Amino acid sequence: MKSTLVNMTAVLFGITLVASAGVGVVNMITEEPIALAKEAATKAALTEVLPAFDTTEEQTLEIDQLPITVYTATKKGQVAGYAVQTMTKQGFNGVVRLMVGFTPEGEVVNVNVLEQSETPGLGTKMADEGNVLLGSIQGQKLENKKLVDGKLAVRKDGGDVDALTAATISSRAYVDAVNRAWEAYRKVASDAAAVSNSVTAQTNEPEAQEGGQNE
């Protein structure tokens, strides 16, 4: 067949169409397994950072133009704790995602590193069990820490969070994500307390006497 511009265009269009269809099929095949794997990872992270719970209620906030998800965990109808899926873009190699668990009173239960691309052997130690970053905040109320402008900070920046050796940027990123989680926790817990107080006030409000007040 004689090669012409029309023929070449038709062939290229056909190749593009077949390739696009192939990508679409692959996406359809992998979409559900990827979603299920992500859901399983989230559930595992919740279990690691929360006290025992029965159910969770999910709420998405936006803090510093970043999406933050708060999971309010309940057990026998009472709040058992809060887990916050938080993130930062300040890692040495980009995005760092954490799941931070809080008791209803605000103590840090645990921190699970969901995603990081930090330098192996340095920044990656943020995911190690018992690392110094976690050790600086676990079991503590963050408002009792040495804060800088109302936020956690590593020692080099005036705070009292121990940084990973030779990984200050990664440590700052970790702390930045935890600060965002703390802010989200406070907002959701405060809103929940306000609703609870309102319900309690309405329940305890005395009924008006029938027929009005006596003179």
pLDDT for 113-152, tens place per residue? 999 999 999 999 999 999 999 999 999 999 999 999 999 9
**pLDDT value of residue 41:** 81
- CA–CA gap between residue 30 and residue 36 (Å, rounded): 10
Q: Which residue has the tokens 């970053």?
A: 133
**pLDDT value of residue 205:** 62
**pLDDT value of residue 192:** 80
Contact status, residue 107 vs residue 158, Cβ threshold 8 Å: no
CA distances (Å), origin 41, targets 34, 101, 144, 174? 11, 15, 31, 20
**pLDDT value of residue 16:** 79
**pLDDT value of residue 3:** 58
| Burial state string for 90-126 with b = 16 or more CB within 10 A and e = fewer than 16 | bbbeeebbbbbbbbbebbbbbbbbbebebeeebbbbb
Token pair of 134 as six digits: 């976690």
Helix, strand or coil, per DSSP, at residue 189: helix
**pLDDT value of residue 172:** 98
Residues lower than pLDDT 50 in the chain: 208-215
Contacts of 63 (CB under 8 A, 6+ apart): 180, 183, 184
**pLDDT value of residue 213:** 44
Rg of the chain, C-alpha, whole Å = 25
- Strand (E) or helix (H) holding 38: helix 5-49
